[in-house]
Chain A
């Protein structure tokens, strides 16, 4: 993200935004870019309105134009009532919204966002997701880095999975979802030790189903055929295994990611937090 937006030099290769080489002409490329970092980068001692006007001024916008644009964005982001309040007094969700508004003050062609909805309230995240969809519809290219795979699935046209610092797969959402389309899944919570489940007997009795035991005591079942949950539970209970809960699962992009990389999104989040602390 740093290399794409300018401050970090890439170790190798080249990056171009709108046909402009970011390494050779970073300042020219920065006209086309808006960046929303994962932490607030606005001035706590300025008001919301002043922060937006200042952001516009950095891109050479004239006073009346930037004031008009700031008012328009405050309205759009539901912050008109807090326009005159200091940024330091904003809630986390409001801060996030204002940081995004500041990044699009100069109407960039490409908007980079790092974890835009991380750690904020439901209302703000919904508003941000809707605003990002609107921006995309209006023609802005949005580059979103997130650990919320469901959010990426909902908002993005193309997704790149990154694991261990490398892109393991990059494709459209439809193509990425291909492996799980038409697959049925059932999750069964076992009361007791999941290791007591007779996997061999299960596979023999239900040959078209595949079974995976998770350490959290859940038994995951997948199949291309419809899963007959009643027969399965009777089979388990006949062998003295008590089923606490059974739920039908909608397979998603997160399952594709876990299948592909072997790691959960939670592990990735911990990795990132660890890097942040170092």
Chain B
């Protein structure tokens, strides 16, 4: 139980300190939106035609959303010497890595909702047929 309190608080702290900062939120919205817009312009059809490429766009959003921020968060913490604090905590390295990556995965999944919402009708507002 105790270790999961640590796990959950590391995830929450990462979300508050890094992922939910305004520049990251706007990047998380704009990046998948740019992908969706790019495919839509290329296809020359309406928003519903994007359904065929939706799995790919979701995968790209998760991949870029997860990996880009995680690398920044860990290197930043190492540079600021705060990562040492986590290493000194009585939690296993595996759980620490799981906590650090979980925050990034949540952010990546949040990114994936943008193309999903775009294809389920939100895109028609931005790009009317």
Contacts and interface: CB of A to CB of B under 8 A. Distances in A.
B71 to A, nearest CB: 18
B5 A57 contact: yes
Interface in B86-122: 86-92
A-side binding surface: helix, strand, loop or mixed?
loop
B91 A58 contact: yes
B46 interface: no
Nearest to A27: B90
A60 B82 contact: no
B126 interface: no
A60 B5 contact: yes
Contact of A43 (B8, B82, B87): B82
B85 A58 contact: yes
Contacts of B16: 46
A41 B81 CA distance: 6
Interface stretch (A29-37, A192-200, A242-250): A29-37
Contacts of A37: 81, 84
B6 A6 contact: no
A40 interface: yes
Interface in A17-76: 27-28, 30-31, 33, 35, 37, 39-46, 54-55, 57-62
Contacts of A27: 90-92
Interface of B: 1-3, 5-6, 8-10, 13, 16-17, 80-82, 84-92
Contact of B90 (A31, A40, A54, A55): A31
**Minimum-distance CB pairs A-B, first 6:** A60-B2, A57-B9, A58-B89, A30-B90, A41-B85, A45-B17
Q: Most chain-B Cβ atoms within 10 A of its Cβ — which of A30, A40, A45?
A: A45
B80 A44 contact: yes
A5 interface: yes
Contact of A62 (B5, B10, B13, B92): B5
A10 interface: no
Contact of A54 (B13, B80, B87): B13
A217 interface: no
Contacts of A6: 87-88
A277 to B, nearest CB: 16
Contact of A46 (B13, B84, B88): B13
A7 interface: yes
A60 B10 CA distance: 11
Contacts of A41: 81-82, 84-85
Given A39-B81, A42-B82, A43-B17, A59 B6 contact: yes
Interface in A235-258: none
B81 A40 contact: yes
Contacts of B80: 43-44
Given A57-B9, A60-B1, 6 more contacts: A28-B90, A39-B81, A46-B17, A59-B2, A59-B89, A60-B3
Contacts of B82: 41-43
B78 to A, nearest CB: 11
A63 to B, nearest CB: 8
A26 B16 CA distance: 29
29 contacts: A5-B88, A6-B87, A7-B84, A7-B87, A7-B88, A27-B90, A27-B91, A30-B88, A30-B89, A30-B90, A31-B90, A37-B81, A41-B82, A43-B13, A45-B17, A46-B16, A54-B13, A57-B5, A57-B6, A57-B8, A57-B9, A58-B85, A58-B86, A58-B90, A59-B6, A59-B89, A59-B90, A60-B5, A60-B90
